[in-house]
Amino acid sequence: MSAARHAGVKERQRDPEEERQVRVSFTKGGRPLRERGLKMDLVEATGVAPDDFAKVQKAIVTLRNNLIASVF
């Protein structure tokens, strides 16, 4: 995400109602990138079959949670 911010395609802003949350959005310059992403064939781009997406997503969440737990 940091590279995207430095490239000028996304911006971060704290939620005024909940300071712990950060809102991430595309800048005007980043909107074409978003549009390209929306049209992308995820199976072709990732090499992950549609039936495996849920398993991969669950594995990523587990990985993230384990990394967070190991730090704290």
3 within 8 A of 20, measured Cβ to Cβ: no
Which structure tokens are listed for 2? 């940091």
Quickly state the pLDDT bin for 67 (edges 50, 70, 90): very high
Q: Can you give the pLDDT at residue 23?
A: 84
The model carries a pTM of 0.47
| Buried residues in 18-43 as b, exposed as e (16+ CB within 10 A) | eeeeeeeebeeebeeeeeeeeeeeee
For residue 30, pLDDT over 90 is answered with no
Q: How far apart are CA 53 and CA 56, in angstroms?
A: 5
**Domain segments of the chain as ranges:** 1-40, 46-72
Which structure tokens are listed for 47? 């090499």
